[in-house]
Copies of this chain bind each other. A is one copy, B any other.
Amino acid sequence: MRIGELSKRAGVPVPTIKYYVREGLIPGGERIGPNQARYGEEHIHRLKLVRAMVDVGKLSVAATREVLSAIDSPGSSLHDVLGIAQAAVTPQVTAGDRAVWAAAEHEVAELVRRRGWVVKESNPARQALAQLVVTFRDLGQQDLLAILDDYASVAERLAAAELAAIGHREGVDSKVEGAVLGTVLGDALIGAMRRLAQADASHRAFHTAVPG
């Protein structure tokens, strides 16, 4: 198939496909002439994958490229690919006050220890969580930090469920893709779900309690 058909079937404009090829997100077509190339089904899937990460998962094009190249690299394990995907979706934090920051990092380390989690010191999610802790404190919302453990136990359950679902699959490639998509799209998924549950909880608390 040529680029026009690829564009139609994947629902992506031709110039955008060219852009993605330039940026290294998808491989170019198989060259069959000086200005002709052929594309296959795998290009369609790859294109959908890119759109899922960029549009739905809100990854930048650069982050998407990193995740995809991790998926592509043949030598890396599922665990490694997951680490790269996590790094790509975790925003870098902006540093703040030294002492406050150190305290927050220690608090995160303490939580990890309490849970019995094995997490590398270098995992960027540590800093991300520490920044949240600092932010809540700084805004006088320290009482909300009491539910950190609720978040932790819930996260544990989600991770287990996700990994179990992926474990049922056959083939490493399929597992890798599932794990990465779980990481990238899972944020949006739990976010949307949280909002539905929150709307319901808020409804219960503030409407049914006030009859007439």
Within 8 Å by CB of A132, from B140, B143, B185, B196, lies B185
Count chain B CB atoms within 10 A of each CB in A123, A169, A186 and give the residue with the most: A186
Cβ 8 A contact of A188, one of B83, B132, B199: B132
The interface centre, meaning the residue of A135, A150, A177, A186 with most chain B CB atoms within 10 A of its CB, is A135
Tell me if A159 and B198 are in contact (CB < 8 A). Answer: yes
Interchain CA distance A150-B52 in the complex, whole Å: 22
A148-179 vs B: 1/0 string, CB under 8 Å? Answer: 00111011111111110111110000000111
Bound Cα distance from A162 to B141, whole angstroms: 12
With an 8 A cutoff between CB atoms, is A146 at the interface? yes
* Bound Cα distance from A198 to B83, whole angstroms: 9
A19 at the interface (CB under 8 A from B): no
A75 within 8 Å of B by Cβ? no
Is A195's CB within 8 Å of the partner chain B?
yes
Q: How far is the CA of A117 from the CA of B198 in the complex (A)?
A: 10
Could you say which residues of chain B place their CB within 8 Å of the CB of A199?
A: 82-83, 86, 117-120, 123, 125
Interface centre among A132, A144, A188, A196 (most CB of B within 10 A): A196
Q: Judging by beta carbons under 8 Å apart, are B183 and A198 in contact?
A: yes
Q: How far is the CA of A80 from the CA of B104 in the complex (A)?
A: 33
Check if A49 is an interface residue, CB within 8 A of chain B. Answer: yes
Interface residues of A (CB under 8 A from B): 11, 45, 48-49, 52, 55-56, 58, 77-79, 82-83, 86, 89-91, 94, 96, 112, 115, 117-120, 123, 125-126, 128-129, 131-132, 135-136, 138-141, 143-144, 146-147, 150-152, 154-163, 165-169, 177-179, 181-183, 185-207
